[in-house]
Structures are given as C-alpha cells and as structure tokens.
Chain A
Amino acid sequence: MRCFLRSTPVTTAVLNRRTSSPVLNAITALAAFVCTCSALHAWLPFPQLPGVGPKLRFFAAHSDEFDTIFVGSSHIHYGVSPSAFDDVLAGAGMANHTFNFGADGMHPPEQFYVLEQILAMKPRKLKRVFLEMDNVEVTWLPAQPTSQRAVYWHDWKRTEIILRKILNLDVREPWQRKLRTARRWRETIALHLALFARNLGNVGRAFDLARSLRGGENTEWELGPNLDGYFPQMMNISQENAAAFENELAREISTGLKDVALDSYAAAAYRDHARQIRNAGATPVLIVTPVYPQFPSRFPEPMPCLLLAYNNPTLYPDFYRTDLRVDQHHLNGAAADKFTRLVATDFLKNGPRR
C-alpha cells in the first residue's frame, strides 16, 4: 500500500531491489509455468489418439443419441456387437441404441479416464454403462511409451491409482519392505511420473494440434461400418495359435478353475465409477468377456453393481472354440454376435428394467 503513496516513481531498479528474493522469483516462475500449462491444457482439444480419439469425438457429436455404452479394451471392441444388443432389447420391448467404446489396449486406469470424459459430456439418454472388469494395469503401455496414447490419461487421479498399486499402499507393511518394493519398481514408477509430468506440461501437443487442424483422420477402423464403434473381425485364428490357445486353456483347466478376485485398487476405482455412473442417471454393469480364466471374474464384497462374467470355459465352452476366435484373446464376428445376445439376455434377466 505504501508503494502507491510514494511520490517517487517506481523504477525497474527499485522493483528489482524490492523483489529480488530468488525464492520469490522462483515461485513466480513456477506459478506462471503451472498457470500457463493449465490454461493450455484446458484450451487444447482432445489429442489425436488412434483407437480412442475418433470414438470420443464421434460420441461428443452424438452424445444424446445413445442409451447404452460398452467401455473396455479390444475384448469389448471386437467382442460386443451393438446391433445384436439392440435387437435383443427391442425384442423385450426396450428401444435402445448402443455404442461400443472398446479400444485396443484400453485397460484400467485408462478406461476410467475415458469413462469420466464420456460422463462429462452429460449424455442425456444414457441409461446403461457396461464396464469391462479388469485389474489395474501398471506395466502395459503402447509400443512407444511416450506417445500421446500413453500420456493423455496420466492425470493425478489415474497416476495415483497406479502408484498405490505398485507400492501396495492399502496393505500395512514395514517401511523397509515398501522401500524394497519402490526400489524394485523404480523404473516403472519413474515412467508413470514422467508420463504424468508430460501430460501436465502438454509436452508435444503442438504436433498433435497441427495434425488435428490438418484433419483427415481415418475413423473407419474405430467407428466401424455402422458408426457404432464396433468393427467385426472376419478372420479366424491360425492353426499354430489355435494349438497354443488350446494348450494354454487345457493347462488352466487342469490346474482347477477358481474365481479370481479383482485387486482391491481396481475394486475401489470401480466402486467410485459405479457411483459416478449412477449420479449421471445410468445403471452400471461390470462385464468380463470370454478371456482366459486367469482374468478376474469375482468382485470383492461389497459389489457395486451387477457383474456378468463369461470367462469360464466349462460354463461357456462355445466361446472357447477355436473356430470362433480371431486369436487367443478375441472373438470373431460370428461369436461376437452370439456373445452379445447372451449378454443382453442375461442383463434382461438380472439387471434393472427401465
């Protein structure tokens, strides 16, 4: 206040003397950096991401047209046929329009980030959200681990889930053990923190922006022929892979099929997201596609919503026939149709009707 009362003008030299504290200047620079990064983050469009970007952009433009969405990895992308789901519900007198939000490699916690983006669009007609259930993935990243696909979902919420799981923070252990864990996983921890920093700093987004301004994004593979996010796979598993798949499956069955429980970090996140989905006025449903039995199929109590699990080859042997598979992990088009109809029927049987 006294500054404004002074009769002498405030020169640069005077200002320098008064505010030349290095700490203060460092804080100013840091604040300016963070503010600029945040402003840019808010202003920049959603990055151009193969798999995820076109679906999100399409859904943003048609958010009020869909009643049901399936969110998950390639198991969903190639395994759920929206038209088959709509057929079954229509047969039960429920008009429905489904969108497949599956994307290759979109495991939790990336899946959670995408789900939040979808809910943030406030889709007015949305009634059902099917979420693929899987453990939090801490090591899987795209081939180029610094690509935008790996960076864009690394906000603090998602990075924290990963760090909590790596360091096993839900379990009380002696600090020496935690330290040993941190040491063993230091490269993975450093990688995720670096990705978080890259996301915060908008690293490389100018190139991405230039690509989006140029346009010309090829969306056929992501959106599929019916613009419902589903791309049916018409080929069949190779003989070599079929043999490997059958051997692996036989090995798993011989060791005894057990209900594998979801890890506590993923469970907590799913509970949180089920709450968010309900707050948005929709019904959450967890789904496990016909993958290997080693994938989790049991949710630790309390269950947040209905769970439909199909990864038991003794209960659903048809989906484990090699003539219905593209590879070890994915169903072909015919099987996807059949599988989706089963999901819809089970949902009608067990889920809330609206």
Chain B
Amino acid sequence: MLFVEFRFFWFFLAVFAVYWSLRENRSRKIWLLVCSYFFYACWNWKFLFLIMASSALDYFVGAMLARTDDPGKRRGWLIMSLCVNLGTIAFFKYYNFFVTSAAALLAWLGLPASLHTLNIIIPVGVSFYTFHSMSYTIDVYRRKLEPVRSLVDLACFIGFFPQMVAGPIVRASQFLPQLRSIRLFADVDGRGALVLFLTGFIKKACIADGVAPFVDRYFDAPGNFTAASGWVAVLFYAIQIYCDFSGYTDMAIATAGLLGYQLPVNFRFPYFAANISDFWHRWHISLSSWLRDYLYIPLGGNRGPAWFVYRNIMITMLLGGLWHGGAWTFVIWGGLHGVALVVHRAWSHRRDVLPDVRDMEKHSRPKGPRTFAGWFSWLLTVYWVCFAWIFFRAIDLPHAGPALRSFMFLPVSGTQDLGAWMLWIVAALAFVHWLNFRGVFSNWWRRPALPVFAAGYGCAFALVLLFIPPHYAPFIYFQF
C-alpha cells in the first residue's frame, strides 16, 4: 500500500476515524499497532514476524539494561542487540553483495571460489525500522532514555506505519514521550498537515513519477544516448529522487501529524545548500544525524588530528552509502560525498562538519548565493551532488560510464535523444522550487476561513489528480 494509492485513503480514513473516537491512550496505541502491522502486511505479511521479533528483542534488552549496573553486562546486552539487528540487515541486504565481492576478490587473487548467492527478498524498510529499534537500545544503554514499560509502546514506535518503511528515521527519545501522553485533537494542525500531504503528493505522484520514465529509459542503456540526454537524465534523476523521497517524508509527517504525532523534518531545500557540508544538513537529515550520533561521534567525531577526523568522515559516509544497498555504486556514492566533505573541511577549516541537526531550526532556510564565490560554491555543490547521483542510480559501474562522460562534457557515441528541450522543464521546476524557497507558498492558505479552506482543498486535490501520469512508480527509498 502506497501513500499515493486510493486504497491508502480508505485505510487512513478508517485509522483516523477510529483512532480519534477512542478515549484511552492504550486503546489508541493498540489500534495504531494493529493498523501499522496491517499496513506492512499488505506488502508481505511473512516479514511482519521480523518486525515483531526485532521489537520483542529490543524490549527485552531494554529491560535487562535497566536491571543491571554492571558495565560489562550492559555492554554485552547492547552488543547482542546490535549483532541481531545489524545481522538482520547484513543477511537480507548484504549477503549476496559480500559473497559476490568475496568471489571477485578471490578470483582476482588467482583463487577462484564457487560461492553461492541466495535468492533473498529484501524486507521493505528493513534499514529504517532496524535503525529505529537500534536507537532505542543505544539510548537506553547510554542512559539517555528510560526503558519502556509496555511492549506495545516500543512496538508502536518501531512499527508506526507513516515512518516504518521509508522514514524519516525517528529516534526513540523523540517518539516514545509522545506515546506516553494522550494526544488531543484540538492540538492537531489539520490545515498544515493537509497542505503538507498535498505538497508531498504533488512531489511524488506528479513530479517524481512524471520524470521517472525518462530517467529509466536513459539509465537502462545510457550508451545509446547523446550527451544532452545525459544531462537531462541526470538532472531529472536529481529531481526525481528529491521529489520522491521528500514527497514521501512530507506525506509521512502529515499522516502522523493528523494522528497527533510529530515526526522530525527530513529535508530543508537541499539543492539550495551553499556547500557540501550544508547539503548534508539539509538532505535526509534524520539519517545524517543518526549516523553522526551513533557512528561518527563514537568513532571520535571532530576530536583529534585532522587525518583522524577525515578518517571518521570517510568511514561514516562509506557506511552511509552502503546503508542504501549492497552495491559498489552506493559505496562510491558515499565515498564521493565523503571526499567532498573532507575537501570542504580542509578548505574552510570548519570544526563543525556535521553539526547537531537537532538545532536545525537555526538553519531554517539557506540564504542563497549572494556573491560570486557563493554562486560558484552553490554551482559546484549541485554539480557534485548530481555527479554522485549517477553512481546512485546506475544499474552497475559499467552503466555509469556513459552518463559520467556526458556529465563531464566528454564525447559520447550515442545517437538517441531524450530531447534537450526538457532542460526547460528542469528550469521551470527549479523556478517553482525557488519560489517555495523564498516562502511564496507558505502560510497564505492559513488566512481563509476553515470552510473556504476545506472547499479549496477539495478542488485543489481534484485538479492535482489531472497531472498524475498513468502509472505509479514505487517509492525509491522503499528498497532501502
């Protein structure tokens, strides 16, 4: 079930109506849990047991951590939880990657080995809900969070359907306190949530799915296309992945908001970032802050000599790339961003490469380039980000080659054309995005009376449906 499907609207209508008609917080949580598991079961009910097992294990580990003060035992419980959670991801997402990579390495060393891959179905959202779960155990271990008393609370946090399959990655410390107190309907910003949902819907269903066929056509056989087509496809992909993922996040935040829960912001105009470091303050914020708090800082963070910090950045970004999937293309994508962050850090001598994203309110909007250096820095950032997207999207490394050549102004031999005029679509979308960035669309919809807003919303939704392409493309981040 996708947020943009009709059946989701019926599903959510039922969830919403029953949820707010229940008086007790516990009943509401049980209802949410049942609905969340149903939502997941619509994809594959067998993998529900994995989520349940993950929830039960971390509930148990949390309880054991609370029972003992012995540092050795506590560390043992934590390691057990991490091993099981990371082992789950490793098996489902990386088993085949490790096996084929090991076989290739052995063959390169002159020791050919016959290693068997498995036909594994990757559970949707495994990386997301495992990270939710791990954040709970680690925070309890660090004594930043009291362990939950009720398994329902933890299961509800891990399985909460708006964020279960594609984030944002919510920390236990952000969400569990919300589950403890009863939500009040009067506190729900219905107008804001509905507008956010519509915005996300437009981004995903109209824009991302609209450009997807062109991107798919190009990246299926990039060697057949002209250089201009390469530019069109790469820029379209930059648009697609942003609109797809931020659209999903907007809808997730809005859906949770309508049920009275607050999820963290995940995107803040990343393509207007002034530099690569700024980009990572604005792109997939929940993942970058998770990696910072649970990987980068434990590795040593910004402390120590420069090479040590650079090493920490590279490890974080390489693993961040690998988090997206078991393929060298993702590792290279992470590596490219790591290199850019290292170069930027060395260039600017900043001490705050990955600042506390919990303070993101301070970074609410980028100012935008104002000087020549600012424009150059912005262009370089966008170029590098798009360059890295080629590896992210390419089926494999050989398929990335022609796209890279096109994007680096090197000659290519392809003759098929996507239509260079499509760059105008990029410009038009960039202009709309810029208007949004300047705040042109913010808050005017709060002014009219509620019935007028409701009527306008109904009309707007009907108009938006006109612009949905004939087929839905699955959310890109579902595969992660």
Contacts and interface: CB of A to CB of B under 8 A. Distances in A.
A341 interface: no
B448 interface: yes
A16 B190 CA distance: 13
B467 A204 contact: yes
Interface string B433-468: 000000000000001111101111111011101111
Nearest to A201: B465
A22 B190 CA distance: 9
B471 interface: yes
A204 B450 contact: no
Contacts of B7: 190, 194
A201 B447 CA distance: 28
A25 B190 CA distance: 11
Given A28-B458, A32-B455, A33-B458, A203 B450 contact: no
Interface SS of chain B: helix
Contacts of A26: 454
B449 A36 contact: no
B421 interface: no
Most buried by B among A24, A36, A148: A36
Contacts, number: 89
Contacts of B463: 36, 40
A28 B469 contact: no
Contact of A203 (B185, B456, B459, B465): B465
A16 B462 contact: no
Given A32-B456, A197-B6, A144 B449 contact: no
B465 A15 contact: no
A33 B467 contact: no
Contacts of B451: 15, 19, 24-25, 28
Given A29-B457, A146-B470, A190-B7, A37 B462 contact: yes
Interface string A32-61: 111111001000000000000000000000
Contact of B466 (A25, A29, A193, A202): A202
A308 to B, nearest CB: 38
Category for how many chain B residues contact A: 20 to 34
B450 A19 contact: yes
Interface in A179-228: 190, 193-194, 197-198, 201-207, 209
Contacts of A31: 455, 458
A7 interface: no
B471 A15 contact: no
Given A12-B448, A15-B449, A148-B470, A194 B462 contact: no
A205 B459 CA distance: 16
Contacts of A20: 450
Contacts of B457: 29, 32
Interface in B255-279: none
B446 to A, nearest CB: 10
A30 interface: yes
A38 B335 CA distance: 52
A148 B277 CA distance: 45
Nearest to B191: A25
Interface string A1-26: 00000000000100110011010111
Contact of A12 (B185, B449, B455, B467): B449
B450 A29 contact: no
B470 to A, nearest CB: 5
A187 to B, nearest CB: 11
B469 to A, nearest CB: 6
A147 interface: yes
A297 B468 CA distance: 42
Contacts of A206: 466-467
B448 A207 contact: no
Given A25-B454, A194-B6, A194-B7, A16 B449 contact: yes
A16 B450 contact: yes
A36 B458 contact: yes
Nearest to A145: B471
A291 B383 CA distance: 61
6 shortest interchain CB distances as A-B pairs: A32-B458, A36-B462, A33-B458, A29-B458, A28-B454, A15-B449
Interface of B: 5-7, 185, 190, 447-451, 453-459, 461-463, 465-472
19 contacts: A12-B448, A12-B449, A15-B450, A16-B449, A24-B451, A25-B454, A28-B451, A29-B458, A29-B461, A32-B456, A34-B458, A36-B458, A36-B463, A37-B465, A40-B463, A144-B470, A146-B472, A194-B6, A201-B465
